A and B are shown apart, each in its own frame.
Chain A
Amino acid sequence: MSVLLIPEVIILFIEDFLLLVFNTIAVVIAYRIQKDFNINNTSSKQYSLEKQTYLASYIIKFSLYLKIASILFFVFTLDKLSTIIPGAMCAVGVTASSDYGIYLLLFKILNIYLFGFWLLLNKNDMNDESYPYTIIKFKYFLFVYVFFLFEMTLQYLYFFDINPQELVSCCGTVFYEATTSVVGQLTNIPNEISLPIFYIVFLLLIITTIKKYVLLNGILNLLFLVIGIITLISFFGTYVYELPTHRCPFCLLQSDYYYAGYAFYTFIILGTFFGIANAFIKTTVGLSLNYCKFSLLFNSMYILAVTIYPIRFYIINGVWL
């Protein structure tokens, strides 16, 4: 039996197809606009391009919203597949059941950020009467479209590659200390090293927000995202599960753990998104967005949300895991 006939997988393929159609329309429009758009031109072609910018903007906005819903649905689908793939206890096992799994997941997250940057650029462009970023934002969309195609191709390869007869590893093995995978090794950085880095990076985020070092803040946000996920899997997650051997980024999303993972991921993604977007847009188009405070707010919420678990555990049990 192939996983391709699972209804959730079919839905993901249909959603991919719809996004492909919409984004291809948007990319054709984007190509025309970046080539010929000139706000000072009064030709009928320019009027037409101006109307098309509105259409393309709505399509891309719609794509982003669909992609956010889709990544949640993707994780839900992986969780569901874990019931039919031998050895998989949760989405981690299903992700690891194909070589493409981890790259697909990373591309999905990356594309949310890339589409999000486009939307911020678009918002600032459309609020200025001279539409100063129209050409650059549509050039940027041509670049984002390539990433979107990569993600879509990976998704096809991934689902075609899953063999439901093949035994896979569960999350306990994937993130086990002796594992040889890159992700496994990253999450096996000793907590004595990763935790101080995590809190120091956060401290630096506060300082760079106050001092308005936008570029440095963006780089630190990227680092915070990576170290935040590593420590979530290797340290904080174990306190959510109350089991030192349970290292999994997905089980946190289950009802057994009160869906805590949704809060964690929302906070860290929003926090780092605004921080990285600030630096990215400042560097590429010279526009200051002033979103550092939003970034710090969500990152602080993330720190609070994850830190509370080990403290609570220690207060109740008097020991660390």
Chain B
Amino acid sequence: MIKLESIYKNYNIGEHNESEVLKNISFLVKENDFTILRGPSGSGKSTILSIIGGLIKPTKGEVFVDGKSIAKLPDKFASLVRQEKIGFIFQKFNLIHELNTIDNITIPLLPGKLSRLEIEKRAEEILDDLSILNKKNVLVKKLSGGEQQRVAIARALINRPKIILADEPTANLDKKLSLSFIQIIKELKQKGITILLASHDPLFSELKCVDNFIDIQHGEIK
């Protein structure tokens, strides 16, 4: 489902402050696997997720998402792959605070072919599954941290992705909300979604539903 082959990533290439953040990263995530990328802050976990999500390109190496090579795909086409196959949950949720819950969730589908009515129906179903349907018209800045994260999850699910990428999703949550998030992730796995999650939260290390752990340190797999 996700395959990385000898990925290198350098920033500021050719400049005095050039830095190598990923070195020879290769791994495979199979369909419906729940994989955790573990490692301390600054080890390169977010960069890996960004490369898989087509947000940035690797300096060297190949990335396959659902069989499609995306390493050198122009932004326009990478966005299409992301729109069709990937849901992204960010550490700081990256919600638009001036919009309400349902508008935040439906944004990824707006350039698509679905009617506004279909999009809202789909959004309401997801909000219902995540138990925040009653907050659909509330501005997200008025929601609690846990609720904001559910909105972020709902936004990641709105395009019915095959893959969920989550970057430090529990970093801003207390333990109770983190456990609640883990419960949601377990349910997503049961629905057949492939999950790749980057975290240094020890909570995830204890989980039995995780299929694979990948440890990253200083940009390399340990």
Contact = CB atoms under 8 A, between A and B. Distances in A.
Given A42-B57, A42-B59, A42-B60, A129 B73 contact: yes
B13 interface: yes
A104 B184 CA distance: 67
The DSSP consensus for interface residues of chain B is loop
B14 interface: yes
Contacts of A39: 72, 74
Given A42-B59, A42-B60, A54 B12 contact: no
B75 interface: yes
B72 A42 contact: yes
A211 interface: no
Given A44-B11, A50-B74, A129-B74, 6 more contacts: A39-B72, A42-B13, A42-B57, A42-B59, A43-B14, A44-B12
Interface string B3-20: 000000001111000000
Interface string B50-90: 00000001111000000000001111110000000000000
Interface in A9-50: 39-40, 42-44, 47, 50
A47 B57 contact: yes
B72 A44 contact: no
A65 interface: no
Most buried by A among B13, B14, B60: B13
A131 interface: yes
Most buried by A among B14, B60, B74, B76: B74
Interface in B128-164: none
Interface residues of B, number: 14
B13 A44 contact: yes
Contacts of B77: 129
Contact of A43 (B13, B73, B76): B13
A42 to B, nearest CB: 5
Contacts of A40: 72
Nearest to A46: B57
A126 interface: yes
A39 B77 CA distance: 13
Contacts of A54: 75-76
Nearest to A51: B75
Contacts of B11: 44
Nearest to B14: A43
B63 to A, nearest CB: 12
Contacts of B60: 42
B15 to A, nearest CB: 9
A40 B60 CA distance: 10
Given A51-B75, A129-B74, A129-B77, A42 B58 contact: yes
12 contacts: A40-B72, A42-B13, A42-B57, A42-B58, A43-B13, A43-B14, A44-B12, A44-B13, A54-B75, A126-B76, A129-B73, A129-B74
Contacts of B57: 42, 47
B17 to A, nearest CB: 12
A51 B13 CA distance: 18
A54 B75 CA distance: 10
Contacts of A50: 74-75
